[in-house]
């Protein structure tokens, strides 16, 4: 099955909203991690989202170039081919892109989708994120409107954010010392976002409710899921039940499962997963290196063990462990067995 069409992705979001579940959105930066995500979604019989950051694009484009848009196009094209082997729907998204990078990152990607559509092919991407949350809300919405129009012309859903997700994740806005009041989106903000973008096309909204990028010990992150309910209630009170927003949960690593699941009842349909899967990928590699030190390192002039320093020997372990962690995310978000693939 190829990557989901725009209509199929819209149906995925509708189904998640109606069914009180969400899709894990897995950050990937290589074919190995793309394969891990695809295996996991297939094993869980869950539709899902694979996404790429500007940093992933720079990584994928090679040491001599570091061209984020080019690298992401390479990854997306690979994902299209690899997804054909599976019987679940996969949507492709780009993660945090700040306004200063949008011209050189988002616009080339939207143009790449437009070129595919002109040839009668499926969208390269079904979703893009413009993260202008570091700007005042009025400025944020002004630039979001510009990109909403470009996306809507190509049946791409735009993800926007207001408020600041604390911590740092691959260049995303926010720092560990972000003022507490900035970590919570107000009901007034949610109404303003809805009013600014609703007539331009479909969008998803990354509201902030104390979430922080990165991984912290239990109790360190003070989530307030009720913030999402308050915002949704404000929008619905003014514009009716059909105005309920499709929300995105950023910075969920280490969150209490009960709070994750509470957000599903408030309209969260997508949850970004990066830190947890990075660790899941790296842990088996570290284990392999420590247990096979004499094989992967030519100690004291010895020849080592080619089977142990062959990258495939440890990358496959990493891929398997990352896939298992993604299945757990599907379980947490209650998307297991709910694929719309037919």
pTM for the structure as a whole: 0.93
Digitized pLDDT (tens) for each residue of the chain, 342 residues in all: 679 999 999 999 999 999 999 999 999 999 999 999 999 999 999 999 999 999 999 999 999 999 999 999 999 999 999 999 999 999 999 999 999 999 999 999 999 999 999 999 999 999 999 999 989 999 999 999 999 999 999 999 999 999 755 444 455 444 455 556 566 899 999 999 999 999 999 999 999 988 764 544 544 557 889 999 999 999 999 999 999 999 999 987 778 899 999 999 999 999 999 999 999 999 999 999 999 999 999 999 999 999 999 999 999 999 999 999 999 999 999 999 999 998
Q: Of these residues, 47, 95, 131, 276, which one is catalytic?
A: 95
If DSSP codes are grouped into helix, strand and coil, which group holds residue 90? Answer: strand
Domain coordinates in residue numbering, the chain: 6-332
pLDDT score, position 222: 73
Distances (CA, A) of 173 to 62, 134, 166: 25, 6, 8
Q: Is the dihedral of CA 323, 325, 328, 332 positive or negative?
A: negative
Interhelix angle for 68-83 vs 54-61, to 10°?
A: 90
What are φ and ψ of residue 25, in 5° steps? -110, 110
Q: What is the CATH number of domain 6-332?
A: 3.20.20.70
pLDDT score, position 193: 97
Is 95 considered catalytic here?
yes
If DSSP codes are grouped into helix, strand and coil, which group holds residue 56? Answer: helix
Instruction: Please state the separation of Cα 250 from the chain's center in Å.
Output: 8
What are φ and ψ of residue 64, in 5° steps? -85, -10
pLDDT score, position 18: 98
Nearest 5 degrees, angle CA 300-CA 288-CA 27? 130
């Amino acid at each position: 099955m190829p990557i989901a069409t725009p209509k199929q992705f819209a149906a995925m979001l509708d189904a998640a909203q109606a069914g009180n579940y969400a899709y894990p959105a897995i950050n990937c930066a290589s074919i190995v991690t793309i394969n891990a995500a695809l295996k996991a979604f297939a094993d869980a019989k869950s539709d899902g989202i694979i996404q790429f950051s500007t940093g992933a694009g720079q990584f994928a484009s090679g040491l001599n170039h570091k061209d984020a848009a080019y690298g992401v196009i390479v990854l997306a094209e690979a994902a299209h081919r690899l997804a054909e082997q599976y019987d679940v729907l996969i949507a492709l998204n780009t993660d945090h892109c700040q306004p200063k990078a949008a011209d050189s990152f988002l616009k080339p990607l939207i143009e790449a989708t437009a070129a595919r559509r002109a040839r009668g092919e499926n969208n390269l991407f079904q979703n893009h994120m413009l993260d202008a949350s570091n700007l005042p809300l009025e400025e944020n919405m002004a630039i979001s409107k510009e990109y909403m129009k470009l996306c809507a012309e190509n049946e791409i859903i735009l993800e926007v954010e207001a408020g600041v997700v604390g911590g740092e994740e691959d260049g995303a806005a926010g720092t560990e010392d972000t003022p507490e009041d900035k970590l919570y989106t107000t009901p007034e903000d949610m109404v303003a976002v809805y009013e600014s973008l609703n007539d331009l096309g479909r969008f998803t909204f990354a509201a902030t409710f104390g979430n922080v990028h990165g991984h912290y010990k239990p109790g360190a992150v003070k989530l307030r899921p009720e913030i999402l309910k308050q915002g949704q209630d404000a929008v619905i009170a003014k514009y009716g039940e059909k105005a309920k927003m499709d929300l995105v949960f950023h910075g969920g690593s280490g969150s209490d499962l009960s709070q994750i699941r509470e957000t599903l009842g408030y309209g969260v349909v997508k949850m970004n997963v990066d830190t947890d899967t990075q660790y899941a990928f790296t842990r088996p590699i570290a284990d392999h290196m420590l247990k096979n030190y004499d094989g992967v390192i030519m100690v004291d002039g010895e020849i080592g063990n080619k089977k142990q320093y062959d990258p495939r020997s440890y990358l496959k372990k990493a891929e398997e462990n990352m896939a298992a962690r993604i299945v757990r995310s599907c379980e947490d978000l209650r998307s297991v067995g709910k694929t719309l693939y037919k």
